[in-house]
Structure 1
């Protein structure tokens, strides 16, 4: 009897793994193997021209980061970008979701209209905003129309990154708005009705009921926002034509990895930078998880 039960469990386990094998094979080939190969490259000096060779260098690629001034510029730009964009897009998404969750006329129309920037290609959005920020673009046209001085929005290092921030807040907040909107509709109406009986006003209900109930969703939004901002590449690349300019003002960590990997062909150091970026993102995620200790719904 015991042998029969063990054989049945083995067959059930084998059947489960058989059904999982296609997904495991795909994940292994296109996720785990590239990660392992990138870690392997980070400890080597790689020559891709002519005869491909790998020279083990130990931790020299990681030690090199300390004396790389462009890396520290990229880290500062990326951190500044994340510190401004993530809270801004989270608050804007929550505010939009709260408004669109009300019983308004043409509510469905506004939901679709606000979501349109998310489904638009990132490259197209960058080109549109480059036209807006151009010397002869829409922004300077309106400034000149009201008698204000025009500005070189794309060429000034002090505002170039801010231009990318504004574009990303505008284009990514609607995605998180939809997530918040779905979560808002799952909050029981009985909680708000009980609060009204106790004399709570609209702000009290929002702060004491809505925000705590949305804590798991907020944790998810913040984590995805951090990951997205630390992986900023295409907007910065198109804005600066791949240089990270003006004067490294739009240089991000991922753009720097691209430059080392595909312009300088320094795959070993680029892999080390990618590994460092992954560690930073994981550490930030762990810190957020410690802050949001109650992210699981009851």
Structure 2
């Protein structure tokens, strides 16, 4: 019996070995190197590194671009996460009812999720540039000229709108799957008691979907803190106009690949971002219960 258990253990480790090697090479070692580099000044050309201690962190605190990225990212998270969560839930509730051509609607609504971020960003830039359809329509109907992509007040909201448009369908499908698991007898009982659709939704759907809401909010929170490609493409990599689209990840890119001898700063900012995401996730867990109700 002992020999069989040993053979099973060897077989299990043999099957796990390729995955463990990949995780070690591409996850664990980079994380450890980032922690090491965050307290060093690194010359990526010569490979030399010198101890910097908290100097990298102090540089970030004194850098106005860091605070601009902080403001933009927090604003982005505070608006996009609630918006995409509520819209996904609302669409799922609508499609969960008696809607004709439900599968067709779900397929059409899910198409933006299948589109690459780069393609989606180019489409929105085409829509909102100075000669775009949206800009021209506003100018023709209201006589107002809005330069969405070059105005600091509008550039980040365009990225927010783009992110909500592309992520809501994915979360909507998750909510829709959760709604279909709720026993219909609960809705029927409340209907007999005279409850309307809003009351039924608030007292049945929302509590039962709490674990899914926690998942959607958590994934949205992490994704929004790591937004990069849309801001990079729209601003052509510089975080403009006037740093209005500069995010944490875009600033990490600047330190790592656009400024000489600042890889340590990039790693320090990456560590700061990881800590911020961890604290925000823990706060979300305290504010939002991850357990639903028993059916």
TM-score using structure 1 length: 0.94
| Unmatched runs of 5 consecutive residues or more in structure 2 | none
Q: Does 2:76 match 1:110?
A: no
Contact 2:39 2:53 in 1 (8 A): yes
The aligned length equals 293
Match of 2:50, SS state, is strand
- Following superposition, the deviation at residue 297 of structure 1 comes to 7.0
**Which residue is equivalent to 2:256?**
261
Q: Which moved more, 1:151-160 or 1:252-261?
A: 151-160
Runs of 4+ residues deviating >6 angstroms: none
Contact 1:192 1:209 in 2 (8 A): yes
Which residue of 74, 90, 110 maps to 2:69? 74
Q: 1: distance between equivalents of 2:289 and 2:162?
A: 32
**Which residue is equivalent to 1:37?**
33
**Which residue is equivalent to 1:60?**
55
Match of 1:45, SS state, is strand
Query: How big is each residue's C-alpha offset from its partner over 1:145-187, in whole Å with a ceiling of 9 and x where there is no partner?
Result: 3242221111111111111111111111111111101111111
Q: Which moved more, 1:182-191 or 1:143-152?
A: 143-152
Q: Does 2:18 match 1:19?
A: no
**Which residue is equivalent to 1:285?**
281
Query: How big is each residue's C-alpha offset from its partner over 1:45-93, in whole Å with a ceiling of 9 and x where there is no partner?
Result: 10012x2211122222122222111101101000001100110011110
Q: Does 2:166 match 1:171?
A: yes
Match of 1:146, SS state, is helix
**Which residue is equivalent to 1:137?**
132
- Following superposition, the deviation at residue 25 of structure 1 comes to 1.4
- Following superposition, the deviation at residue 14 of structure 1 comes to 3.4
Q: Does 2:218 match 1:219?
A: no
- Counterparts in 2 of 1:134 and 1:52: CA distance versus 1, 3 Å: same
| Unmatched runs of 5 consecutive residues or more in structure 1 | none
Q: 2: distance between equivalents of 1:66 and 1:149?
A: 40
Which residue of 266, 278, 291 maps to 1:295? 291
- Following superposition, the deviation at residue 218 of structure 1 comes to 0.4
Query: How big is each residue's C-alpha offset from its partner over 1:184-225, in whole Å with a ceiling of 9 and x where there is no partner?
Result: 111111211222222221111100000000000000000110
- Following superposition, the deviation at residue 296 of structure 1 comes to 6.1
Q: 2: distance between equivalents of 1:93 and 1:222?
A: 11
Contact 1:231 1:254 in 2 (8 A): yes
**Which residue is equivalent to 1:273?**
269
Query: How big is each residue's C-alpha offset from its partner over 1:224-261, in whole Å with a ceiling of 9 and x where there is no partner?
Result: 10111111111111111111000001100100000010
Contact 1:216 1:297 in 2 (8 A): no
Superposed, which structure 2 residues align to 1:123-272 within 5 Å?
123-265=118-260, 266-272=262-268
Contact 1:90 1:221 in 2 (8 A): yes
Match of 2:49, SS state, is strand
TM-score using structure 2 length: 0.95
- Counterparts in 2 of 1:35 and 1:167: CA distance versus 1, 3 Å: same
Match of 1:100, SS state, is helix
